[in-house]
Structures are given as C-alpha cells and as structure tokens.
Amino acid sequence: MLRIYSAWLLILLQLPNIWCMSDGRRDELRDETASLFKHGYEGYMKYAYPADELRPLTCGPLYRDPDPNNVGINDIHANVSMTLLDVLSTLPVIHPTAFPKAVQLVAEKVSFDQDVKVQVFEMTIRALGALLSTHQTLDDLPDDPTEQYRALHLDQSEVDESWIWSSRKSSTIDVKQYKGRILELAYDLGKRLLPAFEPVTGIPYARVNLRTGLLKGESIETCTAGAGSLLLEFALLSRLTGDDRFEQLAHQAYLAIWNRRSAQNLLGNTIGTHGHWLAPGMSGVGAGMDSYFEYGVKAGIMLDDDTYSDIFYDSYAAIQTYVRTTDGFIYRPIQTRLLQPASPSTIDSLSAFLPAMQVLAGDVESAIKSHLVFWNLWRKYDAMPESFLWQERKMEWTGYPGRPEFIESTYYLYQATKDPFYLRVGEKILHDLKTRTKTRCGFATLKNVMTGEQEDRMESFMLSESLKYLYLLFANTPFPNSNTVFTTEGHPLRMPPSLLKQPSSTRRALRKGENPTCPLYRPNTVGGSSGSPGIIVGIEGRGDYDYARSLVYGLDDSGAQVEDRRRIWYDGGVCKIPIEPKFTFEIVLSPLDSNNATAVPPEDPSPGPNKVNQDPLTGHYQITDVEGLRLGVRWRFDGKGYDVASIGPHRIRQGQNVIIRDPAMRDHLPIPATTPIDSTSPPELLLRFLSYSSPKAAISLQSSEDDGQVLLHAVGATAIFGNEFIPITPPELDEGPTSWRIGQKPIPLIIPPETDGKPYQGCSAMSLEWLGIDHDSRDPFVLMVSRGGCTFLEKLLVAADIGATGILVIGHPPIKAGEPVSPEREAEGGFEEGLIRPSAEYDESDPRFRNVKKVGMIYTEWVIGEVLKQMMQEDDKKILGIEILNIDSPEGTLMPPVGSMTSSRSCEKDRTTGEGLLMVGDWPIMNLRVTDNAIRFQQGKSPESL
C-alpha cells in the first residue's frame, strides 16, 4: 500500500505578479547555473580525474594527504574518483551528455579494494548514495539505446571531448548495460563498511579501512549524525540486493542512538561505540547531529515506516522546546543535561539544512523563520560563514567550502511557498558563487568570507549538491514523488512499491483515523479585513522579516555590536521580540474531588483499556476514566493551537481525535481548572549554585565578603503556589530579604543528611540542629528536599514551620530502561524525569495555610541534587549558596511562559451539545473534546460532526 505523504502535496499558491521574477529571467538563471556546473565538471575531468578531487586554484589533482591525521581530506579520499562518483546523480539533470561516459568510467575503472582508512558516513552518503541512485536511474531507462538517448534529453550539439559522450560517434552506446555493475559496486562498498559496526551496541565506528576493515586501536568516538545517517542508503541496498544485513545494522545503529536519549528526548552530539555519550554533552541541530534528524523524517517517507517518523517527531518536539530560542528564529546548542545554552553560543553553516527538513516535516512557518536567519548571514557576508557567534553577531570560523545546506533550504522553501523571494535569494547566491569562488578550472573554497581569500580545494558537494539545488530552484523542479527522497548528499533514492514492507497489523490498526494534512501556506497580507483578503506582500512583507535581519546585523548596517539584544529591537518601543508558544508540555488529568481540595490523584503511567481505548471503526481515542492520565500536548504546524500527541504510552497521530466521556466529568463541564495558576512567577528560573570556603560566610551570605565560587547553573521550575518569584529592585536591597527573590544575593542552601540511606523528603519537621542550622540566627536559608513521600504543599508547610525562606525540590531519578518501577514511586506518579511545576490546591482563607505564600518552592532535576551532594561529600566544610536569576535574559530564554490554565479560560463550553474545548492559555487543544454524550461516539460518528 502506498502512502502518499502529505509533505509532497503542499498546496501551492500562485502569487500575483508583484515583485515576481519573470519566467525568462528564471530560465536565464537556470542556464547560468548549468553552465557553471559544466565548467566545474569539465575542469575536474580535464585536470584532476581520476583523482578524488580537483585543486581549483592550481588546476591539478588533489590526492590523499600522506599525513594520516589530515582527516579533512583523507576521510573522503578513497582513490575512487570521488568527485565523479558524487556528481553521477546530478549529470542526468544538468549535464546529461556527460552521463553515459561518466557511468562507463565508474563502472569500468572504480574499485573499492583500496588500502585506505576512510569515514563510514562520508563513503555512505557520497559514494554509496550516488551508486544506488545511478542504478535506479539506469533501471528506469528504456532498453533500446536510441530510446535511452531520447529519455536523457541529450543535446546533439555537444563538444566532442573524450569525457563527454559524443552523440555522433557513439549514439549506440547502451548505458543501461552498466546497471548491474553499478549495483555490484554499491554492494561491494557496503560489505566493506560492515566491519564498522560494534557488535554489542550496534553503534558504528567512524572509520574503517576499505581493504582490511576495522583497524586495531581505532578511536571509539563517533557522532550522532555519523552513526544515524546510514539508514536510507543501507535500507535501499538491502532491499535491492536481498542481503538484509545492511538495513538491520543501520536500523540498530539508529535506535541505539535514540535509546540513549535524555528524559527530554534530547540526543548528545558525540558518542562512543561503547554506547556512552562523550563530552561536551551538547545537543543541537548542527554539525554532528544534523542528518540524524533528517534521516528520521526521510526514512519515514521512503520506507513508509512509522518507527522513524515517530522518532523524528519526538526529537523534533525536543528541538523546538529546548534548542530553539523563544523568538522562534535561532537553533543553538544546549547542554543536554542542564538544558542551558552552550557558551559561547554559535550557529554553524551545517544547520542551514534545517529549514529544508522543516518543510518536509510540514512545519513551513518555522522553516521560513530559520531560513531568514541564514539568509541574513549570507547577505551580510556574501557567503555562509562556517560558524557564527550569534549573540555577539560576529563570525567564529570564517571559511565557506561551497556548502549546499542553505541553497537546499532555499529550494525547499520555494517549492513550499512559491514566493519569488526565494528566487531572488538564489540569484544572490549564484552571483556570489560566480564572482567569489569560480576559478579557471573549478570553484575554490573561501578561506575567509570577509576578505574573499581562496583555498585550493573543491569539495565534491560543490558540484553534486550546491549547484544541483540551485539548478532545481531555478528550474522550478517539484519535490520528488512519494517514497522518494534526496539523501543528505542530494542523491535521489526511491523505494519501489514492490520493495516496500507491509506495516504490521498492529501498526495498521493504530494508524486508523490518521489523516496527515499539510499546513497550507498562507502568504502574508496587509490591509485585509474580514471581507477583503488584502494585498499579498510575501516573505519580505512579514513583520518579523526585519527582526531576523536585526539578529544578524544589529540595527544599523555597519553591524555595530550591541550588548543587549533586547535594546535594539525595542527601538522606539515599537517592535517586540516575537515569542513562540511553548512547543510541548504535559498535563495530568483528574476530576476534582469536591470533598477534599488537597487530594492529589496518583498518575497512571500505563492506563488500561478501562481508561483509554481506540475506537476500531474511526481510529479515534476515547477516555472513559480521566483519573491520573498524562497527556502530551504538542503545538500544531498550522498554528491553530495544540493537539494531544500522546496519552501515557499511546501515541495520537495527526487526524485522530481524543474524546473524554468520563461520567465523572459530566458535572465538571466546563472543566474546572485542575490547577488555577495565578502565580506571576516566571515558569522557569536559572539557578546558580556557589560554594563558600569560610564557614562564617554561612551565617549570612547576605553580608558575606566571600564572593563564593560558581559551581554550576541549572534550570528550575517555580511552583505555581507559595512565594511569588519577582525580581528584586534596588531599594529593597537595603531592607534585607523578606522573601525569595530573583536577583537576590545568594542564600545558604541546606542539604539535610540522609537517614537510612534515604534523602530527606521534607515530609516531617526536623530540629534545626539536625539540619545544621544555627538556632539564633534569623538568617534566611533554603532547604533541599527530595520529591515524594508527601505532597508539595505538605513539604512547603513543613519548611515554613522550620523557618525556611525557600525549598528546593529535587526530582526523581531517571527510570532505567527495563528496570521495574517501585510501587511507592508508582503511587507517587513519579515517572517524569524532567522539570515539572509543583502545584497544590488549598483554601487560602483556611488559617492552616496562612504561611504558604511566605515560602518559595523551586523544582529541579535529580541530577542537580546528585552533583551538589557529591560536592558536599568531597568537602563537608563547604557551604553552599543558591541564587536565582531570570532565565529571560539576553542569552536567550529557554522556555516562554506557558499560557496559564486559569479557571476562567480553561474550558469553553458549547451549551447546546454539552461539549467543551480545553484551552491552554490562549490556545485550544484542537483534537480533544470533552463530551457528556457517550452514545454518539459509540455509534462511530466522527467527532468532527458532533
């Protein structure tokens, strides 16, 4: 069964002719791109072939570097005419006359039996991908050579050079005869890469020797992208040859990486083949990670396999939640454990692939934004610098080796939006490539995009990808059809219907009701009103177009450096930094217990069919008992609000609806807010932990001269009850602290001793002596307690009794895969490992709760507590201090405020049907309905009609 993927079916809007590029001009640009490509190809064939690469300045061949450590060259140079191999799939598109001869040369001359150590990833994406793609192209050609000639659109008036197939001389060459040989080469190469896979973990070593296999003492260090981007090529190789090993190993490697994700679904960048993440523990979308995500979405499309698309959408949600800045424009690396931006914070040119992937995934709006940042980088430097310090607005690495990612994204966005803006972007790219990188025989790498200084290297992707995507852009070539994708090296690969695997019956059942739709791109308009559509202004007319520009340039064209990012954009107080709604979060449902407001229902991590089930007819999910259900909620790509993406372990797919028909909810329509939030505290804060050597400092850090040493930073979530965390203002500094404030001087952090090997949970009061607190001092302190044992409210009341200013709650330890969960923990509902906002319900007028607002509560992850405890163990004379900072600092906010779930907005009830739509802040959860009408659903009607 073929599944047509919606991403290919973007509905394209034709824009009016304003600012349009004429078709004539576009054709001119296409032809100009083609002639640049021919220039580079012929230069390589004349001056460098059969070497792997051309030296574009000295016009000679570039061979392997005798220095084995020069991996920049040697990873790719396998003595297999790599540039010729890599352009094989581009020739039929741009320079078809050269195609037959090129195929013949590869088929007859290339051998992978070489005594060279090369990179598995590079050999796969450049060589293996090209061979498989070429095999498929040849397979598609008619058997009759004359017909082949016609199918390839060969131009009769080509020059007669030895590396060009002369139509006059050899029009009878049967290029299809090489089909088998090309696949044989691919198979041979594939087998030579197999020794790379570590047998236990399944994670491949980064490099192997093509002749002798894995070398003794080979480095175990590899990266997420390197291990996770073999899927497309290996899967197709397996299905074409019938040898399952390749697909199995690539699949295992992909999952081996995913299974090591963090609690937030984040992956690290560097991993050892033994399966442990290695320093520096960063997560992002650029170098080292990029194509892992890309291959998730593309394998989902090509193999029609939900395993990969599910992984992709989960990892994408984590990226949108943690890696993306709150304005929605920048994707910068973060520390995987602490969820803090890396410092210094850079974006690299490889991450310019992201908009293309976002278009494929259906998130066109995010693609437009991320592309605008790279567009401004390109136009500022007339090329794409390798790495950019976005906060300082200056380059980190100045080179540009002809990389394709930005061009690729421009092509995808043009196809998705048909906005001529992207053609003009292409025009600028073409101009810069021509004037800055073109040499007598090829294209040089730019060593410095500012000075234009060139380097004697032409990577094979300059021809095979950069010029190809530029050509596809101007040729207005639509995306390939279903089950076909461009690999990360730009080689089109196709899974023929005969080789597709049937999804299992369980998977088919789960897919019922699934209806992937693609967000329709709506161009920006101005002057419209309800009755008139307004004038289409396109990408450049977007309100945030200039915002993206200011991110790269600053406010004035000279690129003056501005310390505070907010200052420049609050120019005259007119423009606001855009804020994207939080991408994902979780909510736990429970009916309100009207007899006991403090009752906290246990979470149900694996709800059975008595609570959740899928309607076999419609595929929709119904919830018959809401008690303790955990809903994962995700932002919709069409910008209309949120969708429920999961209920506990059940995944809700696009188009599937969730209907709550719990009789207990009947009395609660509209649903009373489970947790009214009237807190003005920011949802998350940056915690800074310091250590002090002098015990005296402990008495009052407020008056301490000892500045302390910063131990670590962490993100904490504020409770939605208790003390409000507000920034301290200068006059209050003098009065001394009355409550826990943002920006206050550090407060001593007390870590109570363990009893019976168990950390203090703060459920019962302890003496100040036991806690190690001086009786007479009336100084503030913060108590660290572990989650569990009692409710958050009880912990806070106990802390208030002891006289604490604040309480730092440490989350549960992560649950190891396959390890049983203790009943106590299950009862506490302690399944989450990331941040949550503690909540409580109580009657404010009840005198028992009069102290609640005096104590502040912050929740942080388990690992933070572990690190702090360990530091204390090393030196028990040390005194800890804790300080809280507003996370919404110019360094980039990690999380935007979640719309609060207030009682007034929690539910909009349609009185006539007794249904409610759950609101999260300003946004509805679109696929969730609360109904008291059970019968209609049982009749199998689709809820849209309710």
Ligand X SMILES: *[C@@H]1O[C@H](CO)[C@@H](O)[C@H](O)[C@H]1NC(C)=O
Which positions touch ligand X (CB under 6 A)? 79, 111, 114, 596, 598-600
In order of 77, 442, 466, the CA distances from 61 in angstroms are 12, 12, 21
Positive or negative: CA dihedral 40, 437, 118, 131: negative
270 is in an annotated binding site: no
Cβ at position 88, least distance to ligand X in Å: 17
User: Quick one: 163 exposed, middle or buried, by C-beta within 10 A (0-12, 13-18, 19+)?
Assistant: middle
Instruction: Provide the minimum distance between the beta carbon of 210 and ligand X in the complex, in angstroms, as a whole number.
Output: 11
Bond prior to 50 in cis (omega within 30° of 0): yes
For the chain, what is the total number of helices (H) and then of strands (E)? 31, 36
Helix (H) or strand (E) holding 168: helix 167-170
The CA distance from 551 to 554, in Å, is 6
Six token digits for residue 354: 């992201």
Closest approach, Cβ 79 to ligand X, in A, equals 4
- CA angle, residues 567, 573, 574, in degrees to nearest 5: 115
Judge whether 126 and 86 are in contact, CB under 8 Å.
yes
Residue 288, amino acid: G
Q: Which residue is associated with the tokens 């009069």?
A: 850
- Residues that are catalytic: 122, 290, 386, 405
As a whole number of angstroms, the distance between CA 163 and CA 155 comes to 15
CA atoms within a 13 Å half-sphere pointing along the CA-CB vector of 603: 18
Q: How far is the CB of 211 from ligand X (least distance, A)?
A: 10
The first and second tokens of residue 88, run together, are 């094989």
Chain centre to alpha carbon of residue 410 = 19
Which residue in the block uniquely carries the two structure tokens 């007319």? 541
Alpha-helix residue ranges (DSSP H) falling in 716-848:
730-735, 768-771, 792-802, 823-828
Q: Which is nearer to ligand X, 312 or 792 (CB)?
A: 792
With H, G, I as helix, E, B as strand and everything else as coil, classify residue 572. helix
Residues 6 or more apart whose Cβ sits within 8 Å of residue 251: 231, 235
For the bound state, the minimum distance from the C-beta of residue 791 to ligand X, rounded and expressed in Å, comes to 6
Residue 747's DSSP bridge partners are 882
- Residues 329 and 625: their CA atoms lie apart, in Å, by 40
* Cβ(854)–Cβ(739) below 8 Å: yes
Report the alpha-carbon distance of residue 875 to residue 544 in Å, rounded.
Answer: 52
Q: How far is the CB of 600 from ligand X (least distance, A)?
A: 5
Shorter beta-carbon distance to ligand X: residue 111 or 755: 111
From CA 329, how far away is CA 349, in angstroms rounded? 15
Alpha carbon distance 366, 934 (integer Å): 39
Nearest distance from residue 85's CB to ligand X, in Å?
12
Beta bridge partners of 806: 782, 856
User: Could you tell me whether strands 709-718 and 856-860 are parallel, antiparallel, or unpaired per DSSP bridges?
Assistant: antiparallel
- Closest distance to ligand X from the beta carbon of 841 (Å): 10
Which of 374, 395, 340, 387 shows the shortest CA–CA distance to 889?
340
- Token digits of residue 863: 């690992």
Distance from C-alpha of 51 to C-alpha of 787, rounded to nearest angstrom:
63
Phi-psi region of 538 (alpha: psi -120 to 50; beta: other; left: phi over 0): left
Q: Angle between the 354-361 and 306-318 helix axes, to the nearest 10 degrees?
A: 120
> Closest approach of Cβ 103 to ligand X, in Å?
17
What are the binding residues? 488
What are the binding residues for Ca(2+)? 488
